[in-house]
Structure 1
Amino acid sequence: MAQTVNITDLTLPQLEGLKSQLDQTVDDAKGFFKRKIDFLTKQIEKIQPALQEKHAMKQAVIEMMSIKIQQLTAAQAGASKA
C-alpha cells in the first residue's frame, strides 16, 4: 500500500530519486499504451474486411425486403380495387 509523504520533508537526493521514478513510470505507461494502440490497430485491420462484407450483405437484404414490401403493398392495393 502506498504511503503518504509530505514533499516538503524530502531532501534533494530523495526528490531527485522520486523524479527519476516518476519519469520511469511515465515512460513505462507510454510504452504500454503504444503497444496497446498497435495491437488494437492490427485487430481492426483483421476484422475490417469481414465487417465490410457483412455491411454489404445487410444492405442487400434491406434492398430485397424493400422490394418485397413494395410488391406486397402493390398487390394488396390491386386486390382491394378489384
Structure 2
Amino acid sequence: MGEVGGVVEGQVGLGVGAAEPAEAVAELLTDPRAGQVRECEAPDCVLLFLPAHPRRRWCVAGVCGNRARVARYYARYKDV
C-alpha cells in the first residue's frame, strides 16, 4: 500500500483536506457564542453565520442582503 495525496491507501479516514473544516466546526461548537449562530435569511442561501451585530440578517450583506433589498425595491415600484 502506498500513500496517495496524504492518505494511506486502504485506510478509511477523513484525510488531510478535511482536518481544517473539522477543526473549525469543533471550535465553533465549543465557543460560548454557538447559540448565536443564525441562518441567512436569503431564500436561496443555505449558509450559517455568527453575527457581529444583533440586527444582522444575511451571511454577506453585499450579496444576500443586496438581493433582498433589490427584490423589495422592485416589488414596491414594479406597479408604478
| TM-score (structure 1 length as normaliser) | 0.26
Structure number with greater Rg is 1
Greater fraction of residues in helix? 1
| TM-score (structure 2 length as normaliser) | 0.27
Greater fraction of residues in strand? 2
